Amino acid sequence: MLISRLRRDAGNALIELAFVLPVFVLIVIGAAELGRLAYISIEVSDAARAAVAYGAQNHVTAIDNTGMINAAKYDAQNITDLAVSPSYSCYCYNGTTTSSVACSSAASSCVSGSDQIMVNVQVKTSALVNTIFHFPGIPSTFTLNGLAVMTVEQ
């Protein structure tokens, strides 16, 4: 009786594996793709942070767009189509209030003895990423963005 029962169950595990294996493979591929997109997203954000850290060193580097772009691209060497757009704005700060001024005239506009010239450096990064595996209903291209802002004091 035991032998006849074993003969009836022969091959059941193989059939169950045939049903479960495609689902398992899709889950593993989806997890790998999600991990890859997360890694690239971190790279794009870190590139913005590296560029703004370069720009926030002093007032000279705060307006050095080329230096900030190079810092971002050097930080994210694995991303070939990284777009970097640095910008800056100036304002006077007297300890309690701020007033926006043109950066070219900040030295003459912030005349009060307690006013400080402040420069906000902002860097936006973005990268267009194609997925390796194309799943139905899921876009095959994603735009990943990064943003970093720092203030430079004089």
pLDDT at 17 over 60: yes
Which pLDDT value is given to residue 41?
A: 94
- Which amino acid belongs to residue 79? I
pLDDT at 154 over 80: no
- Contact status, residue 118 vs residue 152, Cβ threshold 8 Å: yes
Spell out the residues 6+ positions from residue 110 whose beta carbon is closer than 8 angstroms to its own.
92, 101, 116, 117
Which pLDDT value is given to residue 32?
A: 92
Q: Read off the pLDDT of each residue in 127-148 and give the average, rounded to a whole number.
A: 89
Which pLDDT value is given to residue 151?
A: 87
Which pLDDT value is given to residue 6?
A: 54
- Rounded to the nearest integer, the mean pLDDT of the chain is 85
Closest among 148, 122, 150, 141 to 44, alpha carbons compared: 148
Helix, strand or coil for residue 44? helix
- Contact status, residue 125 vs residue 146, Cβ threshold 8 Å: yes
Give helix 65-75 / helix 12-55 axis angle, nearest 10°: 150
